[in-house]
Amino acid sequence: MSRIGKKPVAIPNGVEAKIEGDKLAVKGPKGTLSMGMSDLIDYKLEDGEISVKPANDTRAARDHWGMQRTLVANLVEGVTEGFTKTLEISGVGYRAQAQGNKLKLQLGYSHDVDLDVPEGLDVKTPDQTTVIISGIDKQAVGQFAANVRSWRKPEPYKGKGIKYQGEYVFRKEGKKK
């Protein structure tokens, strides 16, 4: 049995949840999110909670159970608080600048890297070496952060590159004479 799946997702005040056909829609102070519902899972709205249970006793239904509950919880958390990822840039001459709906990165290439910020995300650069990505969709925030990071992953010798805040970069010793 799924320990995560057994817990119902509480719907806080100011948040509205509806089951419309095969979609679960959640509306809150930060916006609206929806998710397609799996046929293997039963979703119930009752007493200010969304409960998730397997529709039958098959292995596939039990496998989806915990993940579907987590996806529902992410919808509720997204419309109430939102999600944020912070990236740190380290390296001589490496910098970032947010310009409207574009993120301009200088990462040691012969050209600047211009990335279009997806709809629904907010990108801020409080200084030249910090990028803060926020939005209500956890998957979109994480995917855009991963796309930005993929331009220069942190390297193990000098630690230069783009890393998540709090990420540990395993450092290697250079070659010796």
Average pLDDT score over residue span 139-168: 95
CATH number of 3-80: 3.90.930.12, 3.40.630.30, 2.170.190.11, 3.40.470.10? 3.90.930.12
Residue 2 has pLDDT above 70, yes or no: yes
At position 112, the amino acid (one-letter code) is D
Instruction: Calculate ∠ Cα 39-43-45, nearest 5°.
Output: 155
Average pLDDT score over residue span 162-166: 95
Adjacent-strand bridge partners of 53: 42
> For the domain 83-164, what is the CATH code?
3.90.930.12
Residue 177 pLDDT grade (very low, low, confident, very high; cuts 50, 70, 90): confident
Do the domains 83-164 and 3-80 match in fold?
yes
pLDDT on residue 1: 65
Residue 171 has pLDDT above 90, yes or no: yes
- pTM, two decimals, is 0.91
CB 53 within 8 A of CB 42: yes
pLDDT tens digit sequence for 106-146: 999 999 999 999 999 999 999 999 999 999 999 999 999 99
Percent of the chain with pLDDT over 90: 86
Look-up of token digits 């000098």 = 158
The residue ranges of DSSP E strands in the chain, in sequence order, are 9-10, 16-20, 23-28, 31-36, 41-46, 49-54, 83-90, 95-99, 102-106, 113-116, 121-124, 130-135, 161-164
Domain boundaries, given as residue ranges, for the chain? 3-80, 83-164
Residue 75 has pLDDT above 70, yes or no: yes
CB 60 within 8 A of CB 130: no
In whole numbers, what is the pLDDT of the chain averaged over residues?
Answer: 93
pLDDT on residue 70: 95
